[in-house]
Amino acid sequence: MFYLHQYSNDNEDYVLHIDKCHQSISGWIVGKCCSVKELIVRYQYVEEKIPLNQERFDVVESLRYLDVNPCCGFSFTPQRKESLTLCLQRNHSVIEIASIAYFKEKTDNRPIIFIHIPKTAGTSFRNAANEIELRTLYDYGENNPETSDIIKNSIYANDRHLLFDYVMTNEIQFLGGHEISDYSAMFNEIGLFCTFFREPIQRVISEYQHVVKHYDYPHSLEIFCTDPAFCNRQTRLVNHLDLESFFFFGLTEDYKASLSLFNTSTGLIFPYIETNLGREKCEDEWSIDTDIIDLIRSHNQEDLLLYEKAKEIFYNRI
């Protein structure tokens, strides 16, 4: 993965902006005194030239005080997995304008298998994987549009070997979904299993609010929380996987610390993103009547035990 280490974004010769720096690098540069037509990318022993061939009318608008050529944008995937320097040719010399570091992931090309328990900040975590351009696959059910085609053509066509071969051949880095704990047999030797857990009472209330809002669920919270389909969801979704067998698990209530632990463990840099929230923040709690809390508690004893054990292990790790 490539990470921006240091750069000067505005000096007497140019204005530079890096939009993205992960698997690929993109941005724009505008010369103040003369036009810039290409960037020089220097690796340890070789270099390549990147043309400025992307139109950026947003830059023209924001830098109206300069005579900006719309074709000032660039985007490229580095040819080599090593740190590099972005440079400009100026007269008879080359000036360095940005230093970009390369870090090898600590996962050793083993796929991360993410069990997405509903309403545990899993969507935020998944979007962070997309943000840094990991090679991803998703399984959210046969008819869900977010499910990857290869999943539909393998798992839902009773050809699991096809998926395994695809993951290995294409070096898939992140495979996520709700009902994927059964993938443990397929990826037992190479998969890095991870998930997020949440305080069970708050998770149940949050899921209820979600299905009412997005799926027009017609019943009361009392009916919802006693329906076996919605009880002990966390325990059932991780299925037979023991907590100690997880490469990583985090807590919704301490999402930032969880993300930091994940990044440290993997060498990746997942950004902090909050999406699909029922409340303002991942850690926010719902206020509910005591009688309903007791009802939820009585129908989620397995999840309560699981969460307490997960919390103990988590705080011993950070």
Tens place of pLDDT for every residue, the chain, 318 residues? 565 555 556 567 788 888 877 778 899 999 887 788 899 999 988 999 999 999 999 999 988 888 888 999 999 999 887 888 999 888 788 888 888 877 566 777 789 999 999 999 999 999 999 998 899 999 999 999 999 999 999 999 999 889 999 998 998 999 999 989 878 888 887 899 999 999 999 999 999 999 999 999 999 999 999 999 999 999 999 987 889 889 999 999 999 999 999 998 888 889 998 875 555 454 555 668 899 999 999 999 999 999 999 999 999 887
What is the predicted pLDDT for the residue at 4? Answer: 58
Spell out the residues 6+ positions from residue 167 whose beta carbon is closer than 8 angstroms to its own. Answer: 111, 137, 175, 187
What is the predicted pLDDT for the residue at 193? Answer: 94
Tokens of 210: 């979600």
Residue 68 CA to residue 56 CA, distance in Å, equals 10
Beta-strand (E) ranges in the chain? 2-7, 14-21, 25-31, 38-42, 47-51, 54-55, 71-76, 84-90, 93-102, 112-115, 136-139, 174-177, 192-197, 248-251
- pLDDT digit string, tens, across residues 93-115: 888 888 887 756 677 778 999 99
What is the predicted pLDDT for the residue at 284? Answer: 52
Instruction: Decide which of 3.30.70, 1.10.1060, 2.60.40, 2.40.10 is the CATH code for 2-102.
Output: 2.60.40
- Return phi, psi of residue 301, to 5°: -65, -40
What is the predicted pLDDT for the residue at 275? Answer: 72
List 29's β-bridge partners, or say none: 16
What is the predicted pLDDT for the residue at 65? Answer: 83
Residue 197 CA to residue 210 CA, distance in Å, equals 17
Spell out the residues 6+ positions from residue 39 whose beta carbon is closer than 8 angstroms to its own. Answer: 29, 49, 50, 52, 74, 86, 87, 88
Closest CA to 282 of 124, 116, 118, 128: 124
Say which CATH architecture domain 112-317 belongs to: 3-Layer(aba) Sandwich (3.40)
Spell out the residues 6+ positions from residue 14 whose beta carbon is closer than 8 angstroms to its own. Answer: 29, 30, 31, 32, 36, 88, 97
What is the predicted pLDDT for the residue at 188? Answer: 83
What is the predicted pLDDT for the residue at 10? Answer: 59
Tokens of 311: 């919390």
Q: Is 2-102's fold the same as 112-317's?
A: no
Q: Where do the domains of the chain lie?
A: 2-102, 112-317
Tokens of 249: 């698990």
Residue 274 CA to residue 295 CA, distance in Å, equals 29
Closest CA to 172 of 123, 118, 128, 129: 129
Which spans in 112-246 are helix H?
122-131, 149-154, 160-169, 200-215, 221-226, 233-238
Alpha-carbon dihedral of residues 204, 210, 211, 214, nearest 10 degrees? Answer: 180
CB 235, CB 182: distance < 8 Å: no
What is the predicted pLDDT for the residue at 291? Answer: 92
* Residue at token pair 């009392």: 222
Residue 120 CA to residue 178 CA, distance in Å, equals 11
- pLDDT digit string, tens, across residues 120-140: 999 999 999 999 889 999 999
* Residue at token pair 């898939």: 172
Angle between helices 200-215 and 301-317 (to 10 degrees): 110
Residue 125 CA to residue 136 CA, distance in Å, equals 13
Spell out the residues 6+ positions from residue 9 whose beta carbon is closer than 8 angstroms to its own. Answer: 15, 16, 17
